[in-house]
Amino acid sequence: MCDSATTSEILKHFHLLCSVPHGSGNEKALSDRICEKLYELGLSPHQDNAGNIVCDIAGAEGAPITVLQAHLDMVCAVGDPSYRPSTDPIHPIQQDGWLCTAGESSLGADCGAGVAVMLWLASHEEFPHPPLRLIFTVKEEVGLLGASALDPSCMDNVAHFINLDGFAFDTAVVGSAGGVRITMSRPIETMPIPFGLTAYELTLSGLRGGHSGEDIDSGRGNAISLLGGALREYGANQKVFLSSIRCGTAANAIPAQASCVLVTDGNPTSQMQQFNARLALFYSKTDPDARFSVERCEMPETIYTEELSRAIIGLMTESVSCVFQYHEEFEDLVGDSANVGVLRAEGDKIIARSMIRFSTDFGEENLVGQHEFAAECNGFSFEIDNRYPAWPAQPDCPLLNLVRNSYRQATGQELNVSIRHVGLEPAIFYSYNPDVQFVNLGMTILDCHSPRERWAIDTIGPFSDMLRDMLAALAGA
């Protein structure tokens, strides 16, 4: 039976993670701290040059190796402009049965919840289990890069693989989408400011944002597309020059905020009020707090050329951010989609980043082609940063039957089985050893990759019960 002590212990491990900033590319300090923790437990972790950790734990003699795996990095979605994700810790709070933040940042339960459970298991040698291999990876959120950098021998002699990056306690995942990350860029071209113009800061805020895979079919607004549409409509009758723009936080997060400095010969206030009325009409259910704000601001020293300003607006409105088609086998689930998640100045360039998720070659080719065409039409370069494969669905593997039985014992309910419209690391590990049985599990986590991210505390105990039961069964396999 689950108990409050188990939940408290797992949350204690999670608070350790929250104390060390660990956005993608900034995981080294956390990786070091986890190695220290494992050494304290008498284990011998191996940390590779990328920061991945592999740690073996002896188990029942004669049983095959079971891998437990989670990623260390998180998407640092910012809700409070004063929050600095590269240096500030996360401040989790408990509210109405959920673990969350006060809205200043994302929580990092994706995938800190899985990491915390793995540390809890490593602390309890008394639980019966097969030989375990704990794998902690880095840079999952930017294209499964940590898993791709691992030595494939980490999958030698492995029979079962449990990925702990799930978001729904009542669902086991047996397949996932492939992904393509795209960067579009164009050099910044500036000019002196013509006489008679005024500068305004435009901000679109209050959108819910979310995960570009899990939430892409939710109908939530994309801040980049919406701000681009407002600027395009306003610019139909007015001069439009931009001098700065900052939208979104990550390619795989639906952008919740977008802002720019607009230099113009008109006053956008009344038109932005009209846009607010449209937001209230079309996004009342998905984004009820969404609104544009307009403030006069200090005139910048230079502005982007009119050609560049309109090219940026064109890219904002023409880059695809939607569901392309639903899955052929799982008809209620998204098969192919795209999300433009970042648009901002970086150094001497305007950079846009998009994430394409696919289950079919047709969907991938079409969405990549549409982005390439939008970039070409607006004078932006186009580059595929990385691509990872889909994890082929495994709905009939014996490991899934064990999960079903353990879930039934822990909850008295029947388990759902699905695929996920996200990139999951089993896709990489499957390529290392396709004979392994894979499953993705997790606790209930909502609104990942956004400041509203929250973790259902009442799923921690039952999940730990289920996992402990599964490992005991595998020890006798």
Average pLDDT over residues 242-266: 95
In 3D space, the residue among 430, 468, 392, 394 whose CA is nearest the CA of residue 154 turns out to be 430
In 3D space, the residue among 70, 69, 94, 90 whose CA is nearest the CA of residue 79 turns out to be 90
Average pLDDT over residues 240-258: 95
- Give the tens place of pLDDT for each residue, 374-416: 999 999 999 999 899 889 888 888 999 999 999 999 999 999 9
Q: How many domains does the chain have?
A: 2
For residue 1, what pLDDT is reported? 43
Binned at pLDDT 50, 70 and 90, residue 208 comes out as very high
Q: If you average pLDDT over every residue of the chain, what do you get?
A: 95
The β-bridge relationship of strands 65-71 and 132-137 is parallel
111 neighbors 140 (Cβ within 8 angstroms): yes
Q: Are residues 65 and 172 in the same domain?
A: yes
Q: Are residues 157 and 236 in the same domain?
A: no
CATH of the domain at 136: 3.40.630.10
Residue where a domain terminates, one of 385, 408, 433: 385
Question: Which one-letter amino acid corresponds to residue 473?
Answer: A
Average pLDDT over residues 254-278: 96
Both ends of the chain: CA-CA distance in Å?
23
Average pLDDT over residues 185-191: 98
* DSSP assignment string, 387-423: EE--B---TT-HHHHHHHHHHHHHHSSPPEEEEESS-
Q: Are residues 255 and 133 in the same domain?
A: no
314 neighbors 377 (Cβ within 8 angstroms): yes
Whether the predicted pLDDT of 94 surpasses 70: yes
Residue where a domain terminates, one of 327, 353, 385: 385
In 3D space, the residue among 302, 297, 343, 287 whose CA is nearest the CA of residue 319 turns out to be 343
Q: Are residues 296 and 395 in the same domain?
A: no
Average pLDDT over residues 101-122: 97
Residue where a domain terminates, one of 368, 385, 402: 385
Residue whose token pair is 């982005």: 371
Q: Are residues 410 and 431 in the same domain?
A: yes
- Give the tens place of pLDDT for each residue, 297-344: 999 999 999 999 999 999 999 998 999 999 887 788 899 999 999 999
Domain limits at 215?
179-385
Q: Are residues 42 and 100 in the same domain?
A: yes
Average pLDDT over residues 175-185: 95
For residue 396, what pLDDT is reported? 85
3-state secondary structure of 449: coil
Q: Are residues 340 and 352 in the same domain?
A: yes
Q: Are residues 27 and 45 in the same domain?
A: yes
Q: Are residues 13 and 70 in the same domain?
A: yes
Strand partners, 200: 262, 296
Average pLDDT over residues 131-141: 97
169 neighbors 459 (Cβ within 8 angstroms): yes
Binned at pLDDT 50, 70 and 90, residue 51 comes out as very high
Q: Are residues 373 and 400 in the same domain?
A: no
Q: Are residues 265 and 330 in the same domain?
A: yes
In 3D space, the residue among 271, 268, 292 whose CA is nearest the CA of residue 280 turns out to be 292
CATH of the domain at 206: 3.30.70.360
Q: Are residues 263 and 362 in the same domain?
A: yes
For residue 477, what pLDDT is reported? 62
For residue 330, what pLDDT is reported? 79
Binned at pLDDT 50, 70 and 90, residue 6 comes out as very high
- Give the tens place of pLDDT for each residue, 445-477: 999 988 999 999 999 999 999 999 999 999 986
For residue 378, what pLDDT is reported? 98
204 neighbors 258 (Cβ within 8 angstroms): yes
What tokens does 2 get? 């689950």
